[in-house]
Amino acid sequence: MGERVLMKGNEAIAEAAIRAGVQAYFGYPITPQNELITYMSRHMPEKGRTFIQAESEVAAINMVYGSASAGARAMTSSSSPGMSLKQEGISYLVGAQLPAVIVNIMRGGPGLGNIAPSQADYFQACKGGCHGDTHMVVYAPATVQEAADLTAKSFDVADRYRNPVIILGDAILGQMMEPLVLSEVSPNPPPKPWALGGKRHGRAPNLINSLSLEEGVVEDWNWIFKAKYEEMKANELMVETLHCEDADLILVAYGTTSRICKEVMHQARAKGLKIGLIRPITVWPFPYKVISQAARKTREFLVIEMSLGQMIEDVKLAGLGDASLHFHGRPGGGVPQEKDIMEIIDFVLVNKRVGRITTRGTVIDWEIS
């Protein structure tokens, strides 16, 4: 049995990574994930592992690229503007088939924004914020425990597919303290015969590279990536569903927002309203089938996000049949309020769309435009 501790999300992610055998961490200070780099600066050198506060987020992701190409478990973390800086490096990781773990503790944007929580980097993480046909498993933890567990898992997943993995958190998750159990793990990274450096003992030279000027080569590589993405979709999907079997309205939310929705769901159930929740734990791969299946019985879906609406496009894509789709979101650091979500539930389920919605950020019968 592991150790039960009280930790901030940022620190829990760092500690979980250390226990998972991360050998190199490179980061740059940016609120609201500074506790992560600070924790690493203290504990990585203690364990004889590599820590560098790099000159920029760009340098940090490229240091990760280097360590990953040398076969080491490598990680970086940042927040939204810094994540934008990393996109080139992430594309190179995908193109060169390198494992790495990248943590984004999202904050309000666009631009410099603020240091409040946000989920507006969903498109960036899931639709390939970097150039090329890139995809990677994206975990969206909702509790500090889950953040630790998924961080530990992400190193195995990255190594399994030779592909980067993103942990998508937000300022609330990063900053809040919750109890969690940290398990004793024996990290078991697979052998990496493709890695550079170390004594070759006669092995042929290896190449870590994402360029080829020869005709057809990069296309062939992309078909290899496609096969990997299909495997990830088949094996790595994680989703939680609560009370959907008899639901008249299903809330769809991930991360911190899902906690707010859970609370709303409990309150609504207490009032006799049949509310369910679908919580993607991986936002890539996305639980399209779970949603379209639920839409066979449930007529109303309400997506809640800390953004102007990004995941909702994937909910729509899932295919809801005749079911209605509604949205409530708060961008730029705003956090959805229980009372506002309840107001929409009342409007749709109780008042049968008679009356008016008083909050901004709500769209009834959302359509893509």
Sign of CA dihedral 354, 360, 363, 369: positive
Residue number, 63 or 171, with CB nearest to other proteins: 63
Q: Among residues 73 and 330, whose Cβ is nearest to other proteins?
A: 73
- In the complex, the smallest distance separating the C-beta of residue 222 from other proteins, rounded to whole angstroms, is 17
Closest approach, Cβ 62 to other proteins, in A, equals 4
Is the CB of 130 or the CB of 244 nearer to other proteins?
130
Q: Copy the structure tokens of residue 16.
A: 């979980």
- Single-letter amino acid, residue 217: V
Alpha-carbon gap, residue 302 to 365, rounded angstroms: 9
In what helix (H) or strand (E) does residue 349 lie, and over which residues does it extend?
none
Q: What is the DSSP letter of 351?
A: S
SS3 230: helix
Structure tokens at 221: 């590589």
Q: Name the residue among 38, 259, 14 with its Cα closest to residue 147.
A: 14
Choose between 68 and 349: whose C-beta lies nearer to other proteins.
Answer: 68
Residues 11 and 40 sit within 8 Å (Cβ to Cβ): no
Nearer to other proteins, 130 or 261 (CB): 130
Minimum CB distance to other proteins, residue 220 (Å): 17
How far apart are CB 55 and other proteins at their closest, in Å? 4
List, as one string, the DSSP characters of 62-106. HHHHHHHHTT--EEEEE-HHHHHHHHHHHHHHHHTT--EEEEEEE
Q: Residue 70 or 218: which CB sits closer to other proteins?
A: 70
Nearer to other proteins, 96 or 180 (CB): 96
Contact 300, 323 (CB under 8 A): yes
Go through 322-338 and write b for each residue having 16 or more CB atoms within 10 A of its CB, e for each that does not. Answer: ebbbbbbbbbbbbebee
Q: How far is the CB of 327 from other proteins (least distance, A)?
A: 37
Least spacing, CB of residue 317 vs other proteins, in Å: 32
- Integer Cα distance of 34 and 347 in angstroms: 41
Smallest gap from Cβ 84 to other proteins, in A, equals 15
Q: Closest Cα partner for 63 from 102, 30, 34? A: 102
Q: Which residues bind other proteins (CB under 8 A)?
A: 23-24, 26, 50, 52, 54-56, 58-60, 62-72, 74, 88-89, 92, 96, 196-201, 205-211
